[in-house]
Structure 1
């Protein structure tokens, strides 16, 4: 995942109450789907089915939750803005919503795959696949983001930033109801930034508004990404990124993340990409991570970042050099269910 410069974490700022009391309630294994129109691998029913189908687990599916997100719009603007990254406007938010509900892709593709997987009749009440949808971060530098009911929004105002987010949530809700899926359920929303940045005041308001609608508010922060009390940010589900796979840090980073997840009822992000298909050092990184996680008596909820499709390519690989890590990964994900 693309990172911005992170601030130091303050563990003393974390209160004893669990900040993420719902973590694991909707999702045991959550997969991140990057869902923009310009992605080389778009989410089709066949791709979605590859994440759901699992002949080796006793559970119905390998992943029981999907997070639809994206980093950059086709225009070059970012859904998580930064000092050198222009934020996205209302038209670009609408464009992402269009992509999410494009016929045959993304959310409709997941509905199709899940429906076939479960062979679910309309009256069946079995557990559905939980879906989380990314909220673009409103860029406070945008003075003309777009308009709602004829009023132009200036995102230097926190009030207008919140209004933009709630417009987006209503837009997603409208499209979801129009699709009327039967095999998947809208469980909540994901805050697209991996650090607090300048959104500390608006996050709790968004979280409370979503909670009133019985929707979760999910965050997957970059390691050491915040100073302020995490319980005050309004999130109901939090997954910690160890950031071990991508960086030159000791393997104790994983055990540190495990300790934090256990203490505060967080989930953990499991990170890898296509490097595991060709680089022995990357395979060792993933193996190290899995070995550390397997030592936990009660496995936390897991969010899998696979670099946009690496899991499917790894599972489908015929290269004997990747068999060991492939089997370890599948066995671990089965264990978390």
Structure 2
């Protein structure tokens, strides 16, 4: 690992200034591509350029809508995600925060396969309420940003927020009422109605909170495959985009639709290499870079608490291959960090953990300082 760290340090000196653990999430997934066809057949068409895409450079995933999460997202917990000390000043870290959840911790799933029963309207509402709770989650993030500003650091761009839309699971035949009608998720029109309700409810709550340093960037489709929702996703994408909001997707490795995502009306796609959690060859990372370049999509960096205590070689592999492929200068990035791995690296007294945190911090802060990077269209 030391050798890899030295190589990466050298690479970063020349750096121009410019998802997930599937064993838990999808027990039948083994990290390899599937043959299930996406929309259409044959060689996929290259995506047509869209006029609406996210302006987020570095999007970190924050899980916090379930009752069984050990991490409480208060102001202090967000600090290593918001800023990094640089002598007597501060550098800004992540400019985008994706709040999402897979289940409520009480047996109700927000996406297929994560709990015995589908989440109903009451559970969707409880998740929304947790995101907008006083002094926690999104509100705590705003307070954290304000605290850094109060120390004399100027924020040139508000931090942008994306919220995960729960998957409307088909077995929820009595999900809850919207406008006096009980919704039945065996019907696509009712699934669409529920998702529109969720988008409206989150948008209203966000506007009511009047955050000083945050903007609602858009929504994220939590289901990482289209098998269960492919017939109705486009209607949600249309609805979100009409509000001038983004509609983001982070599919697993070669999940059908990753290379032909426009029919689903996604504005931005980040491909998961799925190298960290599976016994797949090192060449997977190069393959991921090649696929992202070919289909004009972005990439996700994946890691978990397994990197702690000097076990970060697989994460170093991501960072090294991405550097060799000029990813940091040419693509938007998402960061899957399990529940709170970046916070734990920051707090650790272990030398290897400190080195790994510093490397991640240097990559993100350098990307944040670049003026008008070419991968941003807005």
Please report the TM-score for the alignment, with normalisation by the length of structure 1: 0.91
Q: Please give the alpha-carbon distance, in whole angstroms, between the structure 2 residues aligned to 1:19 and 1:34.
A: 31
1:168 corresponds to which residue? 198
Match among 289, 293, 306 for residue 258 of structure 1: 289
Q: Which residue of 2 aligns with 1:3?
A: 25
Aligned partners of 1:226, 1:85: CA distance in 2, in Å? Answer: 25
**Pairwise CA distance, 1:331:** 2.4
SS in 1 for 2:117: coil
Are the structure 2 counterparts of residues 199 and 59 from structure 1 closer, same or farther at C-alpha, using a change threshold of 3 Å?
farther
User: Partners of 1:10 and 1:142 in 2: how far apart?
Assistant: 26
Distance 1:17 1:197, change over 3 A: closer
Pairwise CA distance, 1:110:
1.0
The verdict on how the C-alpha distance between 1:305 and 1:83 changes in structure 2, with shifts beyond 3 A counting, is: closer
SS at match of 2:172: coil
CA deviation after TM superposition for structure 1 residue 267, in Å? 1.6
Alpha carbons of structure 1 residues 13 and 82: separation in structure 2 relative to 1, 3 Å? farther
- Label 1:84 to 1:116 Cα distance change in 2 as closer, same or farther (>3 A): closer
Aligned-residue offset at 1:332 = 2.3
TM-score if structure 2 supplies the norm length?
0.81
Match of 1:232 in 2: 263
CA distance in 2, matches of 1:258, 1:20: 21
CA distance in 1 between partners of 2:257 and 2:159 (Å) = 34
Residue 315 (structure 2) pairs with residue 293 (structure 1): no
Choose 234-243 or 71-80, whichever is displaced more. 71-80
Q: How does 1:136-285 map to 2 (within 5 A)?
A: 136-226=166-256, 229-278=260-309, 280=311, 283-285=312-314
Secondary structure at the aligned position of 1:263 is classed as helix
Partners of 2:148 and 2:110 lie apart in 1 by 32
Distance 2:70 2:114 in 1: 27
Q: 1:8 deviation in Å?
A: 3.4
Quickly say closer, same or farther: Cα 1:13–1:279, change in 2 above 3 A. Answer: farther
Tell me the equivalent position of 1:81: 112
Q: Is the 8 A contact 2:102 2:114 kept in 1?
A: no
Q: Partner residue of 2:57?
A: 28
C-alpha separation in 2, matches of 1:275 and 1:22: 36
Distance, in Å, in 1 between the alignment partners of 2:299 and 2:192 is 28
User: Which portions of structure 1, spanning 4 or more consecutive aligned residues, are displaced by more than 6 angstroms?
Assistant: none
Structure 2 unaligned segments of length 5 or more: list them: 1-19, 369-378
Deviation, 1:65, is: 0.4
Q: Structure 1 CA distance, aligned partners of 2:43 and 2:366? A: 32
**Unaligned stretches of 5+ in structure 1?**
none
Tell me the distance in 2 between the aligned counterparts of 1:116 and 1:327: 22
1:117 aligns with 2:144: no
Deviation of residue 170 (structure 1)?
A: 1.1
The residue correspondences of 1:37-76 to structure 2 (distance < 5 A) are: 37-56=67-86, 60-76=91-107
Of the three residues 68, 83, 100, the one matched with 2:131 is 100
- Select the residue among 289, 294, 308 that pairs with 2:339: 308
Deviation at residue 201 of structure 1 after TM alignment: 1.4
Match of 2:359 among 318, 328, 332: 328
SS of 1:166's equivalent in the other structure is helix
